[in-house]
Amino acid sequence: MAVILGIESSCDETSASICIDGEIKSNIIAGQAIHANYGGVVPELASRAHQQNIIPTVDQAILEAKVNKNDIDAVAFTRGPGLLGALLVGTSFAKGFALARNVPLIEVNHMQAHILAHFIDEPKPAFPFLCLTVSGGHTQIVLVKDYFEMEVLGQTLDDAAGEAFDKTAKIMNLPYPGGPLIDKYAQLGNADAFQFPEPQIRGLDFSFSGLKTAILYMIQAEEKKDAQFLENNLYDVCASVQGRVVSILLNKLKQAAKQTGIKRIAIAGGVSANSGLRSTLNELGDKLGWTVFIPKFEYCTDNAAMIAIAGYHKFLKADFVDQGVAPLARMHV
Ligand code: KG4
Ligand code: ZN
């Protein structure tokens, strides 16, 4: 039996999870409401909150999984990418735990882990498959050849998809993080109400910074005619923004599927919680004969279950790191 403790602390969620023989037994996530007051994640405050949350979060994960600390065979932690000060808390905790209990230490790449969240529940994708990883910091189309053999086929040249949601939400004076709110309001609006241009980027790369500017100019122009424009059209603006982000993402995904001939298509990362992306991907998949893989909501945004499952697959290969390991703010898939 292999009992893995997973730790995630790369951004603003402190999370701990227990995985037994590839099955997730607990996944505790402590969010950090403080950042909403500042309109974005404040790195120093994130580090401090991780420091306060990590012990109770791990205790809760162990309690819920009904295991004993002595039963844990290895500890897996997010090494990067992420905020360095935030990563240091999880890394230091994992190192201390491994040292105290004399168990191996496993480093996990956060972006790989988002993809490996697909190996938590059935149906699990067969290799190779394509994964559109969309989060607050990344937008990538990844060719997944094996658990830890991945190739980035395309990525954003500027803002990430989650950033596009959060920054446009800020323009509309919505609180941080704006993605989930735009999603909620979009469901009440008309996606054809406003048109935003599709960026002309060759190949499989993305660009989202133009969209943000187009929305800003549109709102400014409309507000000159009607000071209440945003109040009166909030749902339609949200639906139109979301519609465009989704179409940018799916057009590139379609291109990647055509180029590689792969029909197993997955999405991962925080933005894969978006209802518009999920439903449009399902429709597109039906039309094009794809097998579509969409994670459960709790495994879309940052969580330690994905770290624990990635850790489990490394544990099977005895892929361990020593106590000298340090976190990395930047880390490639
Ligand atoms: O993967 P994640 O939790 O953290 C990073 O590693 O970045 O992703 C967070 C991002 C944020 O930009 C948030 O606004 C976005 O995911 N997000 C959403 C939704 N839920 C989270 N964006 C659109 N619709 C959602 N339902
Ligand atoms: Zn993430």
pLDDT at position 145 is: 98
Q: Quickly list DSSP for 111-160.
A: HHHHHHGGGTSSSPPPSSEEEEEE-SS-EEEEEEEETTEEEEEEEBSSS-
Residues with Cβ within 8 Å of 206's Cβ and at least 6 positions away in sequence, in order, are 139, 154, 155, 156, 157, 161, 199, 248, 249, 252
User: Does ligand 1 have an atom closer than 6 angstroms to the CB of 80?
Assistant: no
Atom number, ligand 1, closest to the C-alpha of residue 184: 26
- Measured in Å, residue 327 CA sits from the centre of ligand 2 at 15
Domain assignment present for residue 322? The answer is no
326 assigned to some structural domain: no
32 and 49 belong to one structural domain: yes
**pLDDT reported for residue 81:** 97
pLDDT value for 205: 98
The answer as to whether 189 is a domain residue is yes
Q: What is the mean pLDDT of residues 56-69?
A: 98
Q: How confident is the model at residue 38 (pLDDT cuts 50, 70, 90)?
A: confident
Please state the atom number of ligand 1 nearest to the C-alpha of residue 114.
1
Same domain, 14 and 151: no
Distance CA 7, CA 93 (A): 9
Ligand 1 binding pocket includes 159 (Cβ within 6 Å): no
Mean pLDDT of the residues in the chain: 97
Q: Could you say which DSSP state residue 332 is in? A: -
* Pocket lining: 82 vs ligand 1, CB cutoff 6 Å: no
**Domain count of the chain?**
2
CA of 173 to the centre of ligand 1 (A): 18
What's the token pair of residue 276?
């518009």
Q: What is the pLDDT of residue 190?
A: 98
| CA-proximal residue: ligand 1, atom 10 (nearest) | 136
**Measured from the CB, is residue 301 less than 6 Å from ligand 1?**
yes
CA of residue 136 to ligand 2 center, whole Å:
7
**What are the tens digits of pLDDT across the range 108-146?**
999 999 999 999 999 999 999 999 999 999 999 999 999
**156 and 8 within one domain:** no
Range of the domain at 304: 3-115+300-316
Report which of 191, 193, 293 is spatially closest to residue 242, judged by C-alpha positions. 191
Distance 3 CA to ligand 2 centre (A): 23
Query: CA distances (Å), 58 to each of 215, 254, 285, in order?
Result: 42, 40, 39
The verdict on 84 and 161 lying in the same domain is no
**Pocket lining: 180 vs ligand 1, CB cutoff 6 Å:** yes
Calculate mean pLDDT across residues 85-107.
98
Domain-located, residue 333: no
> Does residue 12 have its Cβ closer than 6 Å to ligand 1?
no
pLDDT score for 36 = 86
Give the model's pLDDT for residue 285. 98
Q: Same domain, yes or no, for 89 and 52?
A: yes
* 330 falls within a domain: no
How far apart, in Å, do the first and last CA atoms of the chain sit?
Answer: 29
Give the model's confidence band at 88: pLDDT under 50 very low, under 70 low, under 90 confident, else very high: very high
Same domain, 288 and 312: no
CATH number at residue 286: 3.30.420.40
| pLDDT surpassing 90 at residue 4 | yes
Cβ of residue 274 lying under 6 Å from some atom of ligand 1:
yes
What average pLDDT score do residues 156-184 get? 96
- Residue 177 Cβ inside 6 Å of ligand 1? The answer reads yes
The per-residue pLDDT for range 232-286, each reduced to its tens digit, is: 999 999 999 999 999 999 999 999 999 999 999 999 999 999 999 999 999 999 9
**Ligand 1, atom nearest to 276 Cα:** 24
